[in-house]
Structure 1
Amino acid sequence: MDTTAGTFEQDDNMDNLVDNWPSFQNRVTVFLGAGASIGARNEVGRALPSAYQLRNDLWEKYKWRTADGAFDPTALRLMSLEHAAAIIEAKTGRTVLGEYLQETFRCSRPLWQHLALPHLNPASLFTTNYDQLVELGYSSCGKVLDVICSNRSPIAGQTALFKPHGSLSHLNQPVGHGGLVITQFDYLEMIADYRKMLRNAMTGFSSTCVLIVGYSFGDMDIGSELYALRKQSDGIPWYAIFPRSDKEVRTMYSKRFGIEQISRTFESFLADLDARIDFLPSDVKHAEQPKLRASNRIQ
């Protein structure tokens, strides 16, 4: 983690990635989980919610009644977001649920890290997030993305962004074609009918250096595919990037997943990497954030 501007906690795995960068830089795939969107705010200024917060917000808005008293999230016990969303969908219908998700996750500008990401020139990207922060970052840099939410081949000459859980840009499409995967039945449908899409999207992972940012392997559908694919191919190091300095966690990732953990946030990882290999143009450097924010290029 960064402590002061330009100063970072020492991390052997970060050193290893930098040492390998000349060999890896043209074969990088970036996988973004929910942690990659931490810090972002939607168009009305609210922070993008975690899965736990989204479950609570949905339940309080659409299921909880005033007669029940003050809303207490602990009353939901261990109910998952997927189960809660299925119940709410049964009550409100799909349209209302989709509109709420669109309002909740729609952003007008990217974070600095999403603006910096295109300059890393990844071969492909993969995200479980609904938001369009990656697309906004690429658009601000004048680069085009091929957003893929279905089982189709990428467009030649464009960087592919795979979004198996759907995207706000495809909100009105069926699940598996861009519609948002939110209920337990959406997950069942995706697993049953679109696992091939996940495998096709991740085929290149076996021959690339995969950077997994802010992803906890909590999704059994995608997590199990990643796990199986990593076991099949360990020729090139993979790195998991999230801010936790825990020896046992690092050991678990290394031994069980075959992935080396780097203790950085998405932002501090890219800032540290740029400080070492200088991949960002001068106007997008980490220190330029105040100017970028003032010119409305980032949040």
Structure 2
Amino acid sequence: MTIELDAGLVDRVATGKAVLFLGAGASIGAKRTDGSGIPDAGELGRRIATKFLGPGYDNADFKTICDFAASARSGREVQEFIHDQLEKFAPAPFHLLIPKFAWSGLATTNYDLVLEDAYEAAANRIQELIPNCKDGDGAPERLGSKGVLYVKLHGCITHYQEVHPPMIASTEQIIHHREGRAGQFAQFLEWARTRTIIFAGYGLGDFNLRVLIDEMRKDGDGHPWHYIVRPNIKEVESDYWRQRRARTISATFEDLLISLDAQVKSTGRQLALHPVTFAGTSFTRFISKAGASESSMLLRYLASECEHVSKHSEGALATPAKFYRGFDLGWYPITNDLDVQRRATQILMDERIVANQGIVKPQFVILKGHAGSGKSVTLRRLAWDAAVKGDCLVFRLESPAGLSKDAFDEIFQLTKQTVFLVVDNVT
């Protein structure tokens, strides 16, 4: 069924500025050759309980069932059972519409391979899917000019034999422990700040959805509007999510994709890749190698993973009151001089940035402080002053997980300037 979609959503998808985030319900419709359908989270939990725990756990949540099952037997056995339950499901016809769009990224809390198989089967795919199943698996480095990152926050059945990091049962586990998945979660939060996220396949009471939205809200409401897609949404539910800068679409995931396919011009979908593939960047003017320019890999990296700091760095639409209440508003407080001058900033500028002529090998400086002491704001101020006032070549990463050796090797080859890298969230 085709539905009329919000013009803003259609534009974000058409211009490649949307991220598709899939819950268990998004895989419904995938089938095995015997006609059996893929289980949702509730059914998968019941099967795990039957296999490992026996009767009495029908009403327990998925995380509790997995925790008890791993305790009763072992985490590896539970993961192997999940693998057996979710392998060999072919995507439904509507899943094959996903590769027909240019996405900024894709993410999921699912373990299955439905999306991987959909991209493999789609001869007319615009991008190549690059699954990112855990930190350090090299996925960002493999993107190339047409790759799209597929972040699997809870792990994947292709890694069912690995327990470091394990497949996890809830997003809350990432937030509290971060083992092997901190970089993945940081990538999601970066998308949430700068892109439109479409959540599909989640119930409005889904705990993972609530945790994700709550984490996004900690950065304030300067981010784009996001969308939640599910059938039979009531008005009170729409009002609830609207207060959290998320619009609702009362439709199935299949209806959404069919409608996007009808309303996003097919002739322009390839063009959504062009700003990344062919445009220069604010880094271009620093290139000193004759006749050289950024590779498609580097353009992609600077557009999605790493920020070149310049006077063009964007600040969120916000107010001073939000900043002083503790919201992380990106460059807004820096460009509007709302931060407090700190002695550490001036010392680092004088000793490490202005006086850089004698630097002949990499140097590292760690800024320490208790939670809430202003480390992130100080680092942003330092990066801004160095780039804008000092005209230095400065890059900023949300976390060390976003560092790409290949990208910085290319940067070093293209410029003769000293490169300053500011990294937040170092633990």
- TM-score category of the 2 structures, normalised to the smaller one: 0.7 to 0.9
Partner of 1:16 in structure 2? 7
Other structure's SS at 2:240 match: helix
Q: 1:10-89 to 2 correspondence within 5 Å?
A: 14-17=5-8, 21=11, 25-42=15-32, 45-64=35-54, 75-76=56-57, 78-89=59-70
Q: 1:188-267 to 2 correspondence within 5 Å?
A: 188=173, 191-194=176-179, 196-197=182-183, 198-216=185-203, 223-230=210-217, 232-255=220-243, 257-267=244-254
How far apart are 1:47 and its partner, in Å? 2.2
Other structure's SS at 1:146 match: strand
More divergent stretch after superposition (104-113 vs 230-239): 230-239
Partner Cα distance (1:162, 1:41) in 2: 23
Q: Which amino acid aligns with 2:156?
A: S
Q: Which amino acid aligns with 2:27?
A: S
Identity %: 21
1:238, 1:260 within 8 Å by CA — same for their partners in 2?
A: yes
More divergent stretch after superposition (243-252 vs 54-63): 54-63
How far apart are 1:261 and its partner, in Å? 0.5
Structure 2 CA distance for partners of 1:221 and 1:247, relative to 1, 3 Å: closer
Structure 2 CA distance for partners of 1:219 and 1:237, relative to 1, 3 Å: same
- 1:144 and 2:128 are equivalent in the alignment: yes
Partner of 1:128 in structure 2? 109
- Residues 66-104 of structure 1: CA deviation (Å, up to 9, x unaligned): xxxxx5xxx336422222222222333233322221111
Partner Cα distance (1:106, 1:276) in 2: 33
- 1:154 and 2:140 are equivalent in the alignment: yes
How far apart are 1:124 and its partner, in Å? 0.5
Partner Cα distance (1:98, 1:280) in 2: 43
- Residues 159-193 of structure 1: CA deviation (Å, up to 9, x unaligned): 100001011122222353xx4214x8x96477313
- Residues 232-275 of structure 1: CA deviation (Å, up to 9, x unaligned): 244422111111241111111111x2111011111111111222
Task: Count how many residue pairs are aligned between Structure 1 and Structure 2.
Answer: 257
1:234, 1:258 within 8 Å by CA — same for their partners in 2?
A: no
1:154, 1:160 within 8 Å by CA — same for their partners in 2?
A: yes
Partner of 1:111 in structure 2? 92
How far apart are 1:279 and its partner, in Å? 3.0
Root-mean-square deviation (CA, aligned residues, Å) is: 3.0
Any stretches of 5+ residues in structure 1 without a counterpart? 65-70, 282-299
Structure 2 CA distance for partners of 1:21 and 1:261, relative to 1, 3 Å: same
Structure 2 CA distance for partners of 1:171 and 1:44, relative to 1, 3 Å: farther
Partner Cα distance (1:270, 1:189) in 2: 29
1:31, 1:127 within 8 Å by CA — same for their partners in 2?
A: yes
Other structure's SS at 1:202 match: helix
Structure 2 CA distance for partners of 1:172 and 1:61, relative to 1, 3 Å: closer
Bigger helix share: 1
1:151, 1:196 within 8 Å by CA — same for their partners in 2?
A: yes
Other structure's SS at 1:165 match: coil
1:181, 1:187 within 8 Å by CA — same for their partners in 2?
A: no
Any stretches of 5+ residues in structure 2 without a counterpart? 269-427
